[in-house]
């Protein structure tokens, strides 16, 4: 059978673009289809847009700190409309960069939603396309729980385009998305309430890190309600009223409610059953080489049940192309993927939490080293929040199984540490290292 393309990629986000470029390098004839904007969630409603908001929100704290460093700076009102304009210009620039890169690689860009007709044929609306191999890279979308009045809430998709900054914001869900937006809007002067059905924030992270970040958020004025759920939401003359149950039962009235309870694969409208692609739970089932139940159809990124992180999605896309077109099968190692929470305080982690290490190796075989310290920057303004470094160590081998840090630039610091953890660094090797002074990172070699 003759196909229109060697590879058709559905979804032009981080994983799809990475796969399309890599496959084209191997000489494959490639098309990529996208019904929305190029760049996916990361560029348009995620990582990039959110990090720019983090930077914008930091200026309020920096202006307050400036007086301790001898500067007299008058803080004026934040211009949300001006920021949105600048942010949107940068996002559009990145979209154009993505389009240029794909075009230069020889990848055809198809602006259409794709729907399976059969395992090799897709309906693009105005035409049909066939491909020898197909890659599903459709990403995920925010999840909303089923409760009365949920239509009065927004998600992380809409929060970037609010017409105005709210005075009062409630956030349902305290994973990294909820925590990051709580931190951002608190710095912008918003009264923020963060709630979760769990007892603390950032489920899945190390407990010391979770508690330390929560403490920092509360000291900044954020209300953090654990073991608390919204049972009903309604619009009133005073605003949006939430009826809460749990530890903080009662009512709460705000201007805006952000629903940040998680994300699900974006599989709606693909008609996967026409292609014979199996779904496990709500995600596409894949093997270690990203192959689905159909040997010529693959899936990468957030539409699968693996780590929903942009760098992981990119790596999966490239690995797929290496496997399918480069004759270089390359399964990924997911055991030492670093991650960060861009809140204030900022947190980063790699490897196992203390609880995970104890579960895998036995509590008696695990020892943790924990140190709090004040960064030089914070020592001048007597910030009450100390930074934190924690190492999770295997007793017998002395190997570092996990690293958890909270401090300024924690995400940048974890990059280098992650390499050493992946290579099997021991506690003694860290002790023998000489750090750069004065820095926060040197605490790894001097305080533990």
Please identify every residue annotated as catalytic. Answer: 437
Q: Is the peptide bond before 133 cis (omega within 30 degrees of 0)?
A: no
Copy the structure tokens of residue 249.
């039962």
Give the angle 259-263-265 at the CA atoms, nearest 5°. 145
Distance CA 244, CA 301 (A): 35
- Structural contact between residues 233 and 153, judged by C-beta atoms closer than 8 angstroms: yes
Non-local CB neighbours of 440 within 8 Å, separated by 6+ positions: 373, 375, 387, 407, 408, 409, 413
Distance CA 360, CA 334 (A): 16
The alpha-helical segments, DSSP class H, found in 253-341 are 310-324
- CA-based R_g, the chain, Å: 24
Phi-psi region of 258 (alpha: psi -120 to 50; beta: other; left: phi over 0): beta
Copy the structure tokens of residue 7.
């590879």
Distance CA 193, CA 54 (A): 18
Non-local CB neighbours of 89 within 8 Å, separated by 6+ positions: none
Q: Could you tell me the sign of the dihedral formed by the alpha carbons of 345, 308, 181, 207, in that order?
A: negative
Phi-psi region of 318 (alpha: psi -120 to 50; beta: other; left: phi over 0): alpha
């Amino acid at each position: 059978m003759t196909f229109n393309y060697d590879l058709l990629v559905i979804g032009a986000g981080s994983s799809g673009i990475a796969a399309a470029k890599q496959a084209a390098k191997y000489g494959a004839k490639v098309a990529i289809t996208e019904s929305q904007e190029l760049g996916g969630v990361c560029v348009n409603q995620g990582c990039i847009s959110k990090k720019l908001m983090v930077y914008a929100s930091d200026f309020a704290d920096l202006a307050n700190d400036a007086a301790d460093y001898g500067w007299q700076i008058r803080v004026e009102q934040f211009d949300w409309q001006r920021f949105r304009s600048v942010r949107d210009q940068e996002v559009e620039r990145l979209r154009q960069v993505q389009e240029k890169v794909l075009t230069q690689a020889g990848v055809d860009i198809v602006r259409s939603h794709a729907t399976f007709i059969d395992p090799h044929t897709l309906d693009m609306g105005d035409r049909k396309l066939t491909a020898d191999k197909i890659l599903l890279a459709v990403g995920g979308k925010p999840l909303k729980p089923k409760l009365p009045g949920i239509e009065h809430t927004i998600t992380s998709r809409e929060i970037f385009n609010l017409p105005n900054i709210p005075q009062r914001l409630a956030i349902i869900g305290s994973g990294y998305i909820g925590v990051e937006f709580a931190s951002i809007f608190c710095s912008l002067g918003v009264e923020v309430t963060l709630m979760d059905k769990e007892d603390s924030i950032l489920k899945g992270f190390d407990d010391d890190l979770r508690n330390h970040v929560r403490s920092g958020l509360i000291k900044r004025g954020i209300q953090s309600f654990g073991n608390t759920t919204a049972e009903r939401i309604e619009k009133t003359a005073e605003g949006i009223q939430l009826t809460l149950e749990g530890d903080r039962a009662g009512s709460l009235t705000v201007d805006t409610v952000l629903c940040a309870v998680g994300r699900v694969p974006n599989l709606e409208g693909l008609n996967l059953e026409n292609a014979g692609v199996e779904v496990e739970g709500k995600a596409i089932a894949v093997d270690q080489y990203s192959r689905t139940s159909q040997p010529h159809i693959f899936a990468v990124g957030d539409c699968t049940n693996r780590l929903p992180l942009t760098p992981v999605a990119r790596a999966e896309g490239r690995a797929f192309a290496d496997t399918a077109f480069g004759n270089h099968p390359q399964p990924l190692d997911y055991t030492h993927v670093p991650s960060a929470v861009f809140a204030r305080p900022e947190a980063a982690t790699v490897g196992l939490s203390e609880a995970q290490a104890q579960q895998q190796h036995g509590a008696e075989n695990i020892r943790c080293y924990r140190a709090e310290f004040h960064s030089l920057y914070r020592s001048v303004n007597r910030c009450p929040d100390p930074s934190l470094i924690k190492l999770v160590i295997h007793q017998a081998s002395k190997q570092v199984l996990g690293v958890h840090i909270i401090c300024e630039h924690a995400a940048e610091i974890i990059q280098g540490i992650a390499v050493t953890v992946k290579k099997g660094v021991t506690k003694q090797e860290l002790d023998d290292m000489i750090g750069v002074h004065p820095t926060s990172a040197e605490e790894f070699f001097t305080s533990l």
